[in-house]
Amino acid sequence: MSTPSQFMASTVVDSILFRDAFGTQKMRTLFSDVALVQRYIDVEVALAKAEAKVGVIPADAAEVIARESKIERIDFDHMRHETDIVGYPILPLVHQLVGMCGDAGRYVHWGATTQDIMDTAVALQVRDALDSIDGDIRELRGILASLARKHRDTPMAGRTHLQQALPVTFGYKVAIWLAMFDRHQQRLAELRPRVAVVEFAGAAGTLASLGDKGLDVQKALAAELKLGVPATTWHVARDGFAEAVNLLALVTGSLGKIALDIMIMASTEFAEVYEPFVKGRGASSTMPQKRNPISSELMLAASKAVRQHAGLMVDAMVQDFERATGPWHAEWIAIPESFILTAGALHQAKFALGGLIVDEARMAHNLGITKGLIVAEAVMMGMAPHIGRQQAHDVVYDACRAVNEKGGTLAEALAALPEVTKHFDRVTIDRLTDPANYLGLAPRMVDRALALSAEINA
């Protein structure tokens, strides 16, 4: 049987099978071919209006160009064919716009060069895509804040080098995640003015074709499109777009860290958290008992892919002279895919964390599996004022060895040592060896993180 064209996608961002796992419809639409060509047309129309305002082209010509330049009239097959020949889509587009506009067509693309139109169109896409990412991050921060607040005092084992280290609270762990995304929200706000700027400079970036009107046209074009005006031509200075994708790498890197924590904590041996239950999600084809952390796996995969694109964008910054011979093209790959993958990862994070199942009893159980050894530091510091820090260290060290070699609990081992019972009764020993009594300032750190996060939203 024949295969419908909609089944012919070959990458995960467009695949009918995987596209909603790795992206979102909203972000795919922003970076679709139709949306991109519409942005090209938007820039060409805005350019005509800007040039009419400063007296470069007749006002009636600009009116015709604005009225007649419609994407519904574009022959995409012909445009694709010409693009294959030319290597860029703007000349093929201009050919069609000129035909639409009759006599006014002579003023289409006046004084512009291909990269002016393409870069400005991508700046518009990136501006809108950053707005979308900003909204996703804001939603995720709300989810994380609620989770941190709820589990402010939920004790669990803190782990370093995958070994139990000291007690923390789950809210403390989530507050660290929240603070990362607070910073990402701030970075995004700081980044936007550096990226959402117009690129209009002509063949070598000097606006020579427009004489003394060039900067006036550039300013008017920026105003038409609601973009900023750059200090200089930036068609070979790609730090803005590179910064945008590297911000996405930071965002997905943080999602990858969260995903890794969740995946390990959801393992059978830990069993402390689970992704939300949806019948059939995370099922195995051979093992009916499996409940795989699918959203976390997708978040982690996206973080790895976007990180590679971030490197590609930095590589694309190395451009020769006043018009590059190739690095620019790498951005055409990296920018759309990075935004789509980031949107997909944020979508998975909102799902996983918004319905995260936290097993407080299991956290308490795991906190007790070292039989009190996890708070050996607490006991040492409690004894130090009475017998000195080094002697306290040695006493607790001996007690820990006794637990490891003979069994029992740290409290029982300490209670058997005269050096300890000389200063502490059993009630005090039990209190010192209770992990829930050695959380440090973790709950207060949650409070501080929540307060600071609320200030960002104010």
Task: Please give the positions annotated as active site.
Answer: 161, 284
| CA atoms of 442 and 173, how far apart (whole Å) | 9
CA separation, residue 437 to residues 100, 153, 281, 367 (Å): 77, 11, 38, 12
How many residues in total does the chain contain? Answer: 458
Other beta carbons within 10 angstroms of residue 134's beta carbon come to 15
Partnered with residue 155 across adjacent β-strands are 169
Enumerate long-range contacts of 76-82, CB under 8 Å, 24 or more apart: 76/33, 76/37, 79/37
| CA atoms of 222 and 180, how far apart (whole Å) | 33
Question: Burial code of 182-200, b = ≥16 C-beta within 10 A, e = fewer?
Answer: bebbebbeebbeebbbbbb
Is 157 within 8 Å of 366 (Cβ atoms)?
A: yes
Q: Name which of 38, 30, 56 is nearest 108 in CA terms.
A: 56
Instruction: Dig out the tokens for 359 from the structure.
Output: 């097993």
The set of residues, in sequence order, having a beta carbon less than 8 Å from that of 368 and lying 6+ positions away, is: 435
